[in-house]
Structure 1
Amino acid sequence: MVAVYLITLVGNALIIAVVRVDKQLHTPMYFFLSKLSFLDICYSSNSVPFLLFNGLRDYPTISYTGCYAQMTIALFLGMTECLLLAIMVYDRFIAISNPLHYTIIMNNQVCIELAVVTWASAFLLAVIPIIAIPANFCGHNVINHFTCEVQALLKLICSDTPVRHNLGLVIGIFTLPLPFTFILISYTRIVVAVLRICSAEARLKAFSTCVSHLTVVTIFYGTAIYMYLKPQSRENQDQSKVISAFYGVVTPMLNPLIYTLRNKDVKDVIRKIIKKKES
């Protein structure tokens, strides 16, 4: 667990530093990639130190306030990643379908505005339900999970109301199925645009810019949809804990590895930095 966390911190911090240092990577695609890396550091740091600390205790405990805070932060960061991945595929769609006007459409101001809207929207979606409909806990207070996962915590709430259920349903649609549908539609249009390119080499290059993002989307949305959209039962509770640990701990580690191993520009910049230090 310690090794995974260290790889997550170092890998994502390396991407942020490389994008910031090299002017060649001052493009919308790498702007959003650096934001994804920062998001992964925050997401992993919200749960892994807590897991490591509790691993040293026989009877791990956490206050209601601390548990609720951890759940809210995890929801906020998870929703942000859902929206950010949708923004990243939109950037790839514009780059491939309209390359001549790409720098005009996705200028620096637009990128900053999209990033701000993404973080602000996720924050409101995560915080509004908690402020609007406070939860009341009663009776059993043992969380059958590694962390304060929202599904595990909701089982302890005895103030379930139709309003809470409907609000949660609306927020769930805005953060999982809706962005995922947008991503699927965007990739369909990307495939159509790529197939119209005459040169086979140009088609391969266009597809290669999407492979890393598509891999991250598959891992993140695959585990998240399995966790939150499948029917809940006692039999799959332990399995859900493992899946939750995977997308909360392992996925943030995989993202920088996927982007560095599949991305020629990032690898070239890292080689340049290493050669400069050696010289």
Structure 2
Amino acid sequence: MQYQGVLRKMETEIGDPIQYYLLFEGDFLNMNQVLNKELTIKFEKYQCLNCSEDRPIYRQGFCRTCFFKVPTAGDWIMRPELSTAHLDKEDRDLEYEKKVQLQPHIVYLANSSNIKVGVTRKTQVPTRWIDQGAHEAIEIVEVPNRYLAGITEVALKDHIGDKTNWRKMLTNNTADEDLVAYRNKLKQYIPEEAIPYFLENKQETHLEFPVLQYPTKVKSLNLEKTPIFQGVLKGIKGQYLIFEDNTVFNVRGSEGYVVSLTVT
């Protein structure tokens, strides 16, 4: 089987285990079905997700020019507390910002390598947790806009982490935690504006990833340094492909790369 196209993050479907799909223009591949098969990945060129030009990817699948222009890469994406659509203030494109920011958002706890706090749109639950490789997660508050979620996350970050150790996550060096207890402990630190939105009855969501073999020592694949890679696929977790020789490939981190993919 041969496929070619520009990489975007894998689409997922909740299941036991989670189903992963790599989408190409006019075609797709269920990655679960190629576990234990040999994959050859060849880097062909770049293709910016905005302008489609063959320019080096800067961040998030965009070339440098587009990254500093498109509304989907505004600072408020990574820092929700900078959201201003609720004030009718534009960052790059107010219409787009209102569409995204002025909808229900969830502040949550996720356990991937450790317990962390995060923010996502309600419509992205549980997709966001899957993309982070979390094996368990729980909602803390559901607020009506991104700004409220952002200031809640900032307040809670003083008491719990907000980063994932991706290497630890991929080696599955994790332990189950009582997220209900953690959520209840953190309630006292939630900003006054967000307290009415506290979710006290939500229970943990548990996620199972399609992994046959976890790496013992992670080796990250960089297609710019290694334009052709061949290996047996042993698992998928977060947005990473895990290979038999301990190599891992971050699909989302390689958005905007055009590749040829062969399955044998």
User: TM-score scaled by structure 1?
Assistant: 0.22
Bigger share in helix: 1
Kindly name which structure, 1 or 2, has the bigger radius of gyration based on alpha carbons.
1
User: TM-score scaled by structure 2?
Assistant: 0.23
